[in-house]
Amino acid sequence: MAPSEAHVFEQPHHLGPARRARTLERFRTEEFDLLVIGAGVTGAGCALDAASRGLSVAMVEQRDIAAGTSSRSSKLIHGGLRYLEQLNFRLVKEALRERSLLIKRLAPHLVRPIRFLYPLQHRVWERLYVGAGIFLYDLLASLGGNPLPRHRHLTRKGAKAEIPSLNEKTLVGGIQYSDAQVDDARHTLAVARTAAAHGVAIASSMRVTGLLRDDGGRVTGVQAQCLETGERFEIAARHVINSTGVWTDAIEIMAGNLQVDVTASKGIHLVIPKDRIEAQSGMIIRTPTSVLFLIPWGEHWLIGTTDTKWNLDLSHPAASAGDIEYLLSQINTVLVKPLTADDVEGVYAGLRPLLTGESDATSKLSREHGVWHTAPGLTTVAGGKYTTYRVMAEDTVDAAVKDLGGRIPKSVTADLPLIGADGYQVEWNRRSALAAESGLSEGQIERLLGRHGSLISEILALVEQRPELAAPLPGSNEYILAEAYYATVAEGALHLDDVLTRRTRISVETWDRGVAAGDAVAPLMAEVLGWDNATIDRELAHYRARVEAERESQTKTDDHTADAARLGAPDVRMMGK
């Protein structure tokens, strides 16, 4: 099947097949100022920061954009209340400043306000203690121009009105405060596509296999292999940035200088249908080791997270039955009607890269980032919080460019909106008109705006050209077929898993984990990528095997057996395991 020519448009921010072909040619012929390894949010942030300073930049990723930690977080943009309790005021203040920037300027289409209720179970002392912490949280936020409502104290009746599902027997009142939420995978994708719009050469399915060095031992680029074709590349760069998260040590070992131990901490989240919990607000509660969030997520709730050591497979961390039971037991301490495993429609697990600290408990290891020179020509960044990705990227590029010589401008990303941000408010104000013009419902338009911002015009252009693409994805009314097609044309999706797991979240938002949607999406991807029927069948078979392996892993009682079950479905990328 030949690739479709009906792409309607090709823009500088598009990551379609034609752009990939040009990128691979650049890899064969160019020397870049900077080459970034890893397309998580920090790596994408580094690429954007460097390119917006006028540098030539390449970025390679062994799997998909945001395939690791950056698509499996709690999906919060926040300062972190528990870091206040650890007296880490600098980290909280920095994160709250970034939260304000994202809401007001950088990504208002992707980052939105959310309210959390802290239910009080003890009289007087708990209200004073928690209230003082949340007051300080708001105070620190105000130093960065906080756009969100301040906290408020609630009586037992007031707390129950916000979350009717709370168990009154242990409830004495509540405190409600504001934070923000993001679809992490789509935000990371927006950072990467904004970088592409500024000239960054981006290739996913590109595994680094070694480092290039000159006669003096300086790193001068990377050896890499395309996991789609098997082709090998030597990509030249004046400086390399290692932004690989939990894979940090692997690149340092290639450099022969393992400087900092990066610990992987597993966090899992449950996805629950909205009707299982009656609430107008999110919720945060204490657990024996950390905190637990109940987070509104479209027609669902997210419940998470855990925080435990993980030293097994890094690509596909597995959630065990023990993890699921733990989260259910903790949330059930405050609910009048307990949840069971039968209420869980989706589960996802991710790994946080933490810099080893003084405690064996991963919940107490450092969430602050570190930047260091691993070897001449190679800078490494690791640790940190999703919320502060932009600061991490700025610090990393500042360190890297000292090696390049010349006068290189300072970072401008604090004033650089991501794609889809400019014009978003105008399109939001026109949502009724857009619905009438397109034939979609106003609710569909609002959801599209929340994922694509002002780039909704590109989705609607597809619908106008091909009205059948206005149909919802099978199994979910939250996405339309045009988004799956667009993911392949413009958002760099190379495999069915990329669309169902990261461009959309249907893999955890439906009871069948997206299997029915896959049957509709694969033929659309085939039009763009030139798949034949055998390739379509292979993609569908892989996706179904992945779903079954994940379901099987979630029946196992411990990490080792869950990991073994999950590895029953290998990575779809040609050379991967």
What are the angstrom distances between the C-alpha of 366 and each of 70, 83, 287, 370, 383?
18, 10, 19, 10, 7
Mean pLDDT of the 236-257 span:
96
pLDDT at 65: 98
Give CA–CA dist 389/187, Å, rounded: 11
Q: How far is CA 441 from the centre of its chain?
A: 28
Kindly report the backbone phi and psi dihedral angles of residue 31, in degrees, each rounded to the nearest multiple of 5, phi listed first.
-105, 125
- The H-or-E segment that residue 351 falls in is strand 346-355
Tens digit of each residue's pLDDT (9 = 90 or more) over 13-44: 999 999 999 999 999 999 999 999 999 999 99
Q: What is the pTM of this model?
A: 0.96
The DSSP-derived string for 68-137 is SGGGSS--EE---HHHHHTT-HHHHHHHHHHHHHIIIII-TTTEEEEEEEEEE-SSSHHHHHHHHHHHHH
State how beta strands 232-242 and 262-273 pair: unpaired
| Residue % of the chain over a pLDDT of 70 | 96
What is the token pair recorded at 330?
């903790």
Cβ atoms within 10 Å, residue 162: 18
Instruction: Assess contact for 136 and 129: CB atoms under 8 A.
Output: no
Mean pLDDT of the 336-358 span:
90
Tens digit of each residue's pLDDT (9 = 90 or more) over 265-309: 999 999 999 999 999 999 999 998 889 999 999 999 999 999 999
Q: What's the sign of the alpha-carbon dihedral 227, 228, 229, 232?
A: negative
pLDDT at 361: 40
At 226, the amino acid letter reads C
For the cut 80, the answer to whether the pLDDT of residue 363 exceeds it is: no
Q: What is the mean pLDDT of the chain?
A: 94
- The H-or-E segment that residue 339 falls in is none
At 347, the amino acid letter reads V
What are the angstrom distances between the C-alpha of 387 and each of 103, 150, 402, 458?
12, 20, 26, 28
Instruction: Assess contact for 231 and 21: CB atoms under 8 A.
Output: no
Instruction: Assess contact for 400 and 106: CB atoms under 8 A.
Output: no
Please give the torsion angle defined by the CA atoms of residues 186, 188, 189 and 190, in that order, rounded to the nearest 10 degrees.
90
Tens digit of each residue's pLDDT (9 = 90 or more) over 446-467: 999 999 999 999 999 999 999 9
pLDDT interval class at 8 (50, 70, 90): low
Tens digit of each residue's pLDDT (9 = 90 or more) over 58-117: 999 999 999 999 999 999 999 999 888 888 899 999 999 999 999 999 999 999 999 999
- The H-or-E segment that residue 331 falls in is helix 321-331
Mean pLDDT of the 335-357 span:
93
Q: How far is CA 254 from the centre of its chain?
A: 27
For the cut 50, the answer to whether the pLDDT of residue 52 exceeds it is: yes
| Residue % of the chain over a pLDDT of 90 | 89
Reduced to 3 states (helix: H, G, I; strand: E, B; else coil), residue 200 is: coil
Instruction: Assess contact for 172 and 123: CB atoms under 8 A.
Output: yes
Radius of gyration of the chain (CA): 23
Q: Which of 62, 74, 77 is nearest to 251 (CA)?
A: 62
What residues pair up with 221 in beta bridges, in sequence order? Answer: 212, 236
At 418, the amino acid letter reads L
pLDDT interval class at 9 (50, 70, 90): low
pLDDT interval class at 6 (50, 70, 90): very low
Cβ atoms within 10 Å, residue 54: 12
Kindly report the backbone phi and psi dihedral angles of residue 241, in degrees, each rounded to the nearest multiple of 5, phi listed first.
-110, 125
Instruction: Assess contact for 34 and 50: CB atoms under 8 A.
Output: yes
Non-local (6+) Cβ contacts of 157 within 8 A are none
pLDDT at 288: 87
* Cβ density class 203-228: b for 16+ within 10 Å, e for less: bbbbbbeebbbeeeebbbbbebbbbb
Mean pLDDT of the 213-238 span:
97
Query: Which of 318-322, 365-369, 438-442, 528-532 shows the lowest mean pLDDT across its residues?
Result: 365-369
Give CA–CA dist 416/194, Å, rounded: 9
Tens digit of each residue's pLDDT (9 = 90 or more) over 564-576: 999 999 889 965 4
Which residue do the tokens 């395939």 mark?
67
